[in-house]
Amino acid sequence: PTLVLLVLLASAFSPALGGAVQSSGSDPLGVEFTDVSNITGLSNISSGPLSNWASYGPGTSWGDYDGDGDLDLYITARFDQLGMETEESFAEGTEQSVIDAAIEENRSGQTFLMRNDDGQFVDVSVSAGVKLVNSTAIGASWADFDGDGDVDLYISKFGVADFSLTAINSGGEENIMFSNNGDGTFSDVTALTNLGNPGHSTGGVWADYDHDGDLDLYSINSGIVDERDFDMWPETNILYRNDGDSNDDGVPEFSDQTIEAGRISGQELNPTEDFIPAVSNESKDNAPEGAQGGDVVLGNGNVLSPAGTGVTWAALWFDYNKDGWEDLFIASDFGISPLYENNGDGTFDLVTVEAGLLLQGTGMGAHAADIDGDGDFDLCQTNFGPNFIWYNQNGESFERELDSDFHNNDDKRITVNWDCHFFDYDLDGDFDLFTTAGRINTYVPTQENTLFRNDGNGWLTDITLEAGLGGHEKSMGASTVDFDGDGDIDIIVANSDGPLQLFENNAAQITGNHWLKIALQGNQSNSYGIGMLVEVELSDGSVISQQTYAGSGYLGSGDPVVHFGLGSETQVKEVRVKWSSGHIQVIQNVTVDQTLVVMEESPPPVDDNYLVLAAIAILVIGIGGGILVIRNRNNSALSEVDSNLSED
């Protein structure tokens, strides 16, 4: 099958950032990032052969595997998955056997687990039992899948990219589920859990989508793509439901619910079916009569499905419509990125059309945050070409606005964007944006990563150079975490053409701004509170909202502890946690510059006296009409009765 990628990519794509992006500027606060990879023990890590354009890796994933209070780092492999870059490096006339041997060697890499010892990283990969050599492990995510209180490690393996194979699945490689033993070591429990996913896997994102108290997994596959000729073989993703330890072997079992949950596979096409999605600005307005199911029909008559293309690089669980249930967004390459709405009964509806997300792109990374401060979560999608930012319209739909200065200052440039992360780098109370960029073929040059500063109103300014983050590496996976525990968020960037870069942030020291980290401990909900909504209300009544993640961005995961920049606030008026059990927990008058641990409390019982009083009050209100709010001992509303009863 052949995929036609138009060279119109850069000019025809519609970048979207709410009409609120400046392409250059300066950081008025003087915040800078310093590369400390050398002094922290990360600069000499080599996860595979250097690659100038071919490799999809490496990725980075953070988790406190040893429970000592700081974040440890897992680094995935880099490798020449197609062998094309390796082959092109040999002079004409070189014996094919020599070339083939080099290709075979470069088609795999190795992984590392780096333990954080007070800001110094020590390689414990072998002793922990998670060292993978000659491996195509490209994605990793930390999550407490068995609910025992420590984080476990899920490895996504890409396998072989070979179009000569008769069955695409034979080129994939089984993923690995490592269970944390609690003593610094891990055990491979893949067979016991049924989490093998034999496709060309690039990552796994976790959430308790059915709210039964344990974590479920969405494992994503990219299929294979010929990055020179854009031939392609898509694959479906897999939704694994955690069914608990049904056979009493001490390990939860998972079942494939992809079809039963509403066919949330990230595609409609079969893996070997031809299709030609052209990357252009043609949209649903060009749909001819007879187009069904919200399909976007391009001017040349080709149909793009709102269910995605089957080439997935990233996925994200987040509650887009504020109903308390985690929905699923999939960054889909060469087409439309789908959105699936959680119905709350174990099933999902495809709502890409209703949500207004009908813009074809080449999705690579995805993240969500409330960047405009209106109480709902907005989306970032990175692309081969200008990126998209979708502004959430009160949980009903998304809107984009065009700004040709976002990330691409020249319509002749084609930027290959990979990861994206919202985080408050300057601790001023709003979410800024970091994206990585790296070429994927010889047709485009390398470009620099980008840091955008949010001015508080959703206006983003490129301050990359001013913040000390310039450079032209081929960057792939990235993460934003407070690795040194000083209260501001640092950045790690994984490069395929060079060493890792760990950038230390000095915002807490330079600005004097305050912060608050909130760590959740579930009781009825999952153990780390993954997927929970956390709100911080400030003294002026403004609210900052975040959601906890286990797997996000591209190839990795960050800290499940949510981080809030507070500016000059010296006390938080109120912290609210909405647990998946439905209970809203409130903590008032919280001290800043600390990590607040919130243990899920059981919902308070309803006092019978309250119900009696409520019944009497309703009878009284029935005479003249009105609204009665019943409150429990914690002063949280139990119910609201609208009683506009007629006097007769």
Q: Each residue of 613-625: pLDDT tens digit?
A: 555 554 544 444 4
Look at residue 612 in the predicted model and tell me its pLDDT: 55
Look at residue 297 in the predicted model and tell me its pLDDT: 38
Look at residue 29 in the predicted model and tell me its pLDDT: 66
The torsion angles phi and psi of 587, rounded to 5 degrees, stand at -125, 125
Is residue 554 included in any domain, yes or no?
no
The three-class DSSP label of residue 185 is coil
Look at residue 403 in the predicted model and tell me its pLDDT: 53
- In terms of domains, do 460 and 588 share one? no
- Structural contact between residues 356 and 399, judged by C-beta atoms closer than 8 angstroms: yes
Is residue 545 included in any domain, yes or no?
yes
CATH of the domain at 536: 2.60.40.10
* pLDDT bucket at 172, cuts 50 / 70 / 90: confident
- In terms of domains, do 486 and 574 share one? no
Average pLDDT (287-309) is 50
Look at residue 230 in the predicted model and tell me its pLDDT: 66
Look at residue 345 in the predicted model and tell me its pLDDT: 98
Q: How far apart are CA 153 and CA 185, in angstroms?
A: 11
Q: Is the pLDDT of residue 293 over 70?
A: no
Q: Tokens 């209703």 correspond to what residue?
A: 354
Predicted structure pTM score? 0.86
- In terms of domains, do 335 and 187 share one? yes
What range does the domain containing 595 cover? 514-549+559-599
Is residue 48 included in any domain, yes or no?
yes
Q: Is the pLDDT of residue 179 over 70?
A: yes
- In terms of domains, do 197 and 266 share one? yes
- How many angstroms separate the first and last alpha carbons of the chain? 73
Look at residue 627 in the predicted model and tell me its pLDDT: 38
Residues with Cβ within 8 Å of residue 452, at least 6 apart in sequence: 21, 432, 433, 434, 435, 460, 461, 462, 463
CB atoms < 10 A from the CB of 648, how many?
3
Last residue of a domain, one of 511, 538, 570: 511
Of 271-285, 468-482, 597-611, which gets the smallest average pLDDT? Answer: 271-285
Q: How far apart are CA 191 and CA 193, in angstroms?
A: 6
Q: Is the pLDDT of residue 402 over 60?
A: no
- In terms of domains, do 151 and 211 share one? yes
Q: How far apart are CA 243 and CA 254, in angstroms?
A: 5
CB atoms < 10 A from the CB of 231, how many?
13
Q: Each residue of 562-602: pLDDT tens digit?
A: 999 999 999 999 999 999 999 999 999 999 999 999 999 98
Average pLDDT (163-191) is 85
Domain count, the chain: 3
Averaged confidence pLDDT in the chain: 83
- The closest of 486, 542, 492, 541 to 515, measured between CA atoms, is 486
Q: What is the 3-state secondary structure (H, E, C) of 313-363?
A: EEEEEECCCCCCCCEEEEEECCECCCEEEECCCCCEEECCCCCCCCCCECE
Q: What is the 3-state secondary structure (H, E, C) of 199-230?
A: CCEEEEEEECCCCCCCCEEEEEECCEECCCCC
- In terms of domains, do 407 and 295 share one? yes
Look at residue 470 in the predicted model and tell me its pLDDT: 82
Q: Is the pLDDT of residue 306 over 80?
A: yes
Q: Is the pLDDT of residue 528 over 60?
A: yes
- In terms of domains, do 201 and 241 share one? yes
Q: Is the pLDDT of residue 381 over 80?
A: yes
Is residue 1 included in any domain, yes or no?
no
Is residue 398 included in any domain, yes or no?
yes
Average pLDDT (93-104) is 94
- The closest of 447, 389, 390 to 416, measured between CA atoms, is 447
Look at residue 415 in the predicted model and tell me its pLDDT: 79
Average pLDDT (387-406) is 79
Last residue of a domain, one of 481, 511, 541: 511
The half-sphere exposure of 325 on its side-chain side, counting CA atoms within 13 A, is 16
Q: Is the pLDDT of residue 467 over 60?
A: yes
Look at residue 438 in the predicted model and tell me its pLDDT: 86
Of 111-120, 141-150, 593-602, 633-642, which gets the smallest average pLDDT? Answer: 633-642
Q: Is the pLDDT of residue 16 over 60?
A: no
Look at residue 387 in the predicted model and tell me its pLDDT: 87
CATH of the domain at 108: 2.130.10.10
Q: Kindly give the pairing relationship between strand 514-521 and strand 595-599.
A: parallel
- In terms of domains, do 132 and 148 share one? yes
Look at residue 286 in the predicted model and tell me its pLDDT: 31
Q: What is the 3-state secondary structure (H, E, C) of 521-576?
A: ECCCCCCCCCCCEEEEECCCCCEEEEECCECECCCEECCCCEEEEEECCCEEEEEE
* pLDDT bucket at 82, cuts 50 / 70 / 90: confident
- In terms of domains, do 202 and 309 share one? yes
Q: How far apart are CA 531 and CA 318, in angstroms?
A: 7
Q: How far apart are CA 422 and CA 276, in angstroms?
A: 32
Average pLDDT (190-198) is 94
Is residue 3 included in any domain, yes or no?
no
CB atoms < 10 A from the CB of 292, how many?
7
Residues with Cβ within 8 Å of residue 605, at least 6 apart in sequence: none
- The closest of 259, 266, 77, 263 to 176, measured between CA atoms, is 77
The residue among 340 and 645 whose pLDDT is bigger is 340
- In terms of domains, do 466 and 537 share one? no
Is residue 341 included in any domain, yes or no?
yes
- Structural contact between residues 566 and 427, judged by C-beta atoms closer than 8 angstroms: yes
- In terms of domains, do 503 and 628 share one? no
Average pLDDT (441-454) is 84
* pLDDT bucket at 536, cuts 50 / 70 / 90: very high
Burial of 365-395, coded b for 16+ CB within 10 Å and e otherwise, reads bbbbbbbbbeebbbbbbbbbbbbbbbbbeeb
Average pLDDT (310-331) is 96
Is residue 2 included in any domain, yes or no?
no
- In terms of domains, do 349 and 433 share one? yes
